[in-house]
Amino acid sequence: MDFRAILTQHKLVVGDGAMGSQLMARGLPGGVPGDLWNLERPEVVEAIQRDYVQAGAQFLLTNTLGANAVALGRYGLAERLEEVNAAAVQIARRASEGRAAVLADLGPTGELLEPLGTLSRAKAAEAFAAQVQALVRAGVDGFIGQTFESSEELWIALDAARQACALPLIASMKFQPVKGGGYRTMMGEGPDRLAALARELGCTAVGTNCGQGIGTMVGAVAEIAKLTDLPVLAEPNAGLPALVEGRTVYREDAAVFARHLPELYRAGARIIGGCCGTAAEHIRAIRRFADSL
């Protein structure tokens, strides 16, 4: 499916919602990577994605946020990289029923690049290249690099995709509000670096996900929109996580999303989905808003 065409044909494109928190709600044990359920519990992954399509999502993200060689290697699963990523694409294709594009989800390795950490740029590039090539072979419609807090690592991930194919690329980073105003990643980078990276890589869209609830994300989206002419992606959490009786809960329900969607759109968001804690009802609220435009 042509994701670029979807962007040009709609005032607001509706994305999908969370995967990790939904897997945990369906029994994923602690310490088990969610990507592994592409092989061990594919019916659960497919049910989550099918719910999003039925709620009105126009694209699905593959369940591969942690399916690069470095992240899988921490669980002794690096040798299963090809089958984990290929299965994720097959599952999303089945769930989409031809009604939604399938975008490959690239996430951070979980390691810091040298000199702050021990991960070399060469090893990171090799890890992302292996994942990207597996996803291209499986037949995705595009790539999104998301939840990154280092623009350098995001660059490495999306550059691997750029070298492997001519599919659409989306760059997304995780920002938080800082004292005194503005937004920064954990590494101290702001939306200006993200916008520059997206321009340099020839991305189709750019934006932010995770780290914030929908109300807080409005300001970050507005900053990004001032820095780029590209469509801006927003994927907020269902609020900040809280620990209640040993469970992680997110308290922003679909009604909260519905209240904030107009201001998020006015701030410049043209692609809206959900991140941690969101479910099909959140996507349904976005769909209703998109249909009202």
Q: Any idea what the CATH number is for the domain that residue 282 is in?
A: 3.20.20.330
Q: How far apart are the first and last CA of the chain?
A: 24
Note the pLDDT of residue 240: 84
Give the chain's domain count.
Answer: 1
Residues 143 and 158: beta-carbon distance below 8 Å: yes
* Structural domain boundaries, residue 20: 3-292
Note the pLDDT of residue 12: 98
Note the pLDDT of residue 235: 98
Judge whether residue 277 has pLDDT over 90. Answer: yes
Note the pLDDT of residue 103: 98
Note the pLDDT of residue 246: 73
What is the average pLDDT score of the chain?
96
89-107 pLDDT, tens digit each: 999 999 999 999 999 999 9
Note the pLDDT of residue 245: 72
Other Cβ atoms closer than 10 A to 150: 22
- Residue 244: partners with Cβ closer than 8 Å, 6 or more residues away: none
C-alpha pair distances (Å), 210 with each of 28, 84, 236, 277 = 20, 24, 5, 10
- At residue 248 the predicted structure's pLDDT band, cuts being 50, 70 and 90, is confident
Position of tokens 């470095």?
Answer: 70
- At residue 193 the predicted structure's pLDDT band, cuts being 50, 70 and 90, is very high
- Concatenating the DSSP letter of every residue in 185-230 gives -TTS--HHHHHHHHHHHT-SEEEEESSS-HHHHHHHHHHHHHH-SS
- Concatenating the DSSP letter of every residue in 77-118 gives -GGGHHHHHHHHHHHHHHHHTTSSEEEEEE---SSPBTTTSS
What pTM was estimated for this model as a whole? 0.97
Residues 214 and 240: beta-carbon distance below 8 Å: no
Note the pLDDT of residue 247: 77
Rounded CA-CA distance 252/256 in Å is 6
Note the pLDDT of residue 15: 98
Torsion of CA 85, 88, 93, 94, to 10 degrees: 140
Judge whether residue 170 has pLDDT over 90. Answer: yes
Rounded CA-CA distance 253/251 in Å is 6
200-222 pLDDT, tens digit each: 999 999 999 998 999 999 999 99
Judge whether residue 74 has pLDDT over 90. Answer: yes
Judge whether residue 140 has pLDDT over 80. Answer: yes
Judge whether residue 79 has pLDDT over 80. Answer: yes
